[in-house]
Structure 1
């Protein structure tokens, strides 16, 4: 990075600083973000303060952990800038979560829980993330802490960690994600399609909540997710004895997604260039009805879910033998190449998580409070947005064609989206 980045940062932060009011806070915010971006392996408060002559540890610690300021205006500015940089009908809104490994049990939300990045259970905090992305350019909008039941069942523990009353009720990760999506929509952030992995896609209420809001979505599912053929019919079977049926039932049984695609036609498709050449896999897609309607007893089969929304069922066979399955409510005339492109666009949020941790110290925060953790996360997202804005501006200057994308409208990197 060139030496003038700190001057650029001060100019870029001007809209954020208006929302902080107090003169000291307007100095601490740029100092904290400069500490996250600058040199040094550790991005917790003490080493950041030690590397700077301009700020003291006490003031920086107070700013993040105890200062009386509202983060909402800063978040609103971040979302507005993210929308200007990559928002639009061809942008993706990607839902995921990321784990912050922690020792002990005093830090807010820390508990033994599954960490996707580690592939195992670990003592950690889990943040539900919302990323706005266009092509290879992600902007992180939200990182919100998931509280396990070991926390939400202990009011005194939550009070000690400063968890606001409105967040003390237990919420699943999909429920947190829907709340964050609603906030993003209310703020006017533009996007075309919601993406999520199977940790969210297996939740019928999550998928149904997206559809209820009129959103397009493409989500991972487990291979045993039940579906019906798209042409399933609801019939009133004639009862051999006893009272006649008063409720209709499907004329065929539901089956696992994996079994539904066994006889499908598979095609080799590529979606982007990787470090070792173009990434490809075999895909198949067919229209189905998702078995996530109201449960109903169906003869000897017992309680079964009735046919729900019509959607695309997509399968992916990877070169390493791994098989993945997805559902999407994208239109019925969507080409399979576009379905594959939507599904594989989710990778960019994992890259963003990695960069926020490795380069900006997202997982270096050593405080224990709800407020401190979320303020630190907000600062890392602002730092990340600043770096992305510089990247886009530099890319815009390098392009010679007058029709190339401007720094605030990187259309050349927008995904191919139906």
Structure 2
């Protein structure tokens, strides 16, 4: 790469030149920042990504600038993130396509990210609901779209939930924010449809499943034990009994449970075994045309208790996946949770401060590139081969 930005003397090496993560960041930025028309913008993008990777503590624009260039750099980086007009969406698309080249996508995972903040000076700050903890907090609520494959777990897209007064005047529910984010990301990337994993225990089950069906995007959703369903297999208990809760459906098929071994995402190399059962069901939708065949999956970590996890999926064509395959697919959500808990702070995903929504999107896009560079350097995957 020509005219590569260098850290100023005494500033400390950011993403230490010659290190694997430094090289991964250079290769990645060279491939995914091509939508930035001007060379100086591409250089600023590389600077910002390397600054995110090496700046200790909070990754504010000021702290990144101090790490790599001082006051003049502070102004230019601030303009690059908050005052420029470049579009972040082509970079997110290029990032997904780059990763797909040699570590093909297994599943998208939608992961909420609560960003506690005080004051009124950041975009989207207000009283928010954290669907992971099922509680209110003050700050921002974002939903990340994570690319997961055998070797890679990294965010590639984002959507920020905005209070009504900051949005289009109509507001957006958490369900709409999460689902719209992944549908837009999947459509823009242009990859073949892959399963979407998300948690809808505390948001609308039927409306969410219908939106994915309308978009022809397969989904594997964690649902509440109280979600009401119809048993469609005449050979199973509960058939013809009308709508009952998902927990009741699984309680009646406990004898069908089988043990399944899977890799623990929190403790790699430590296999675990849980009990699993799957049942064909329908949602009791008022519109007959929407009563599609689905699979309800239950997982038991303790065979004497209620199922610990319940999942609903339309991955039934051309044939339903086995309960074991479905269970192992759900574990990608655990991989994302474990990775995000460790890495969100390392690349500053929560660290943007400002009133500009476009600035927020540019910051988390650059942070996603930094996250991917770190992930690729740690796994040793050589991605992007053959990317035009």
Tell me if both proteins adopt one fold, taking TM over 0.5 as the criterion. Answer: yes
Rate the CA distance shift 1:188–1:200 in 2: closer, same or farther, 3 A: farther
Q: How does 1:282-301 map to 2 (within 5 A)?
A: 282-294=275-287
Rate the CA distance shift 1:227–1:73 in 2: closer, same or farther, 3 A: closer
2:18 & 2:119 partners in 1: Cα distance?
41
Structure 1 unaligned spans of 5+: 233-249, 296-305, 396-405, 410-418
Are the aligned partners of 1:98 and 1:116 in contact in 2 as well (CA < 8 Å)?
no
Are the aligned partners of 2:31 and 2:98 in contact in 1 as well (CA < 8 Å)?
no
- The Cα of 1:42 is off from its aligned counterpart by 1.8
2:330 & 2:42 partners in 1: Cα distance?
41
- How many residues end up aligned between the 2 structures? 355
Q: Among residues 252, 255, 279, which one is paired with 1:263 in the alignment?
A: 252
Rate the CA distance shift 1:350–1:8 in 2: closer, same or farther, 3 A: closer
Q: Could you say what secondary structure the match of 1:51 adopts? A: helix
1:40 aligns with 56
Rate the CA distance shift 1:23–1:218 in 2: closer, same or farther, 3 A: closer
Q: Could you say what secondary structure the match of 1:86 adopts? A: coil
- The Cα of 1:291 is off from its aligned counterpart by 1.9
- The Cα of 1:46 is off from its aligned counterpart by 1.2
Rate the CA distance shift 1:216–1:145 in 2: closer, same or farther, 3 A: same
Q: How does 1:187-266 map to 2 (within 5 A)?
A: 187-199=189-201, 202-231=204-233, 252-264=241-253, 265=255, 266=257
Are the aligned partners of 2:301 and 2:308 in contact in 1 as well (CA < 8 Å)?
yes
1:174 aligns with 175
Rate the CA distance shift 1:67–1:407 in 2: closer, same or farther, 3 A: closer
Q: Deviations over 1:55-106 (max 9, x none)?
A: 6211111111112322233233222213224335xx1011221111111133
Q: Could you say what secondary structure the match of 1:69 adopts? A: coil
Q: Could you say what secondary structure the match of 1:56 adopts? A: helix
- The Cα of 1:225 is off from its aligned counterpart by 0.8
Rate the CA distance shift 1:227–1:380 in 2: closer, same or farther, 3 A: same
1:10 aligns with 26
Q: Could you say what secondary structure the match of 2:115 adopts? A: strand
Are the aligned partners of 1:87 and 1:190 in contact in 2 as well (CA < 8 Å)?
no
Q: Deviations over 1:277-298 (max 9, x none)?
A: 3233222221122223439xxx
Q: Among residues 367, 378, 385, which one is paired with 2:372 in the alignment?
A: 385
Two-structure CA RMSD over aligned residues (Å): 2.9
Q: Could you say what secondary structure the match of 2:229 adopts? A: strand
Q: Could you say what secondary structure the match of 1:358 adopts? A: coil
Q: Could you say what secondary structure the match of 1:105 adopts? A: coil
Are the aligned partners of 2:128 and 2:138 in contact in 1 as well (CA < 8 Å)?
yes
Rate the CA distance shift 1:85–1:110 in 2: closer, same or farther, 3 A: farther
Q: Among residues 300, 308, 332, which one is paired with 2:291 in the alignment?
A: 308
Q: Could you say what secondary structure the match of 1:80 adopts? A: helix
Are the aligned partners of 2:124 and 2:160 in contact in 1 as well (CA < 8 Å)?
yes
Larger Rg: 1
Q: Deviations over 1:229-286 (max 9, x none)?
A: 2147xxxxxxxxxxxxxxxxx9532111111111212233221145283233222221
Q: Could you say what secondary structure the match of 1:363 adopts? A: coil
Are the aligned partners of 2:93 and 2:188 in contact in 1 as well (CA < 8 Å)?
no
Q: Deviations over 1:334-387 (max 9, x none)?
A: 221112112222212223432442210111112222111111100111111222
1:399 aligns with none
1:66 aligns with 83
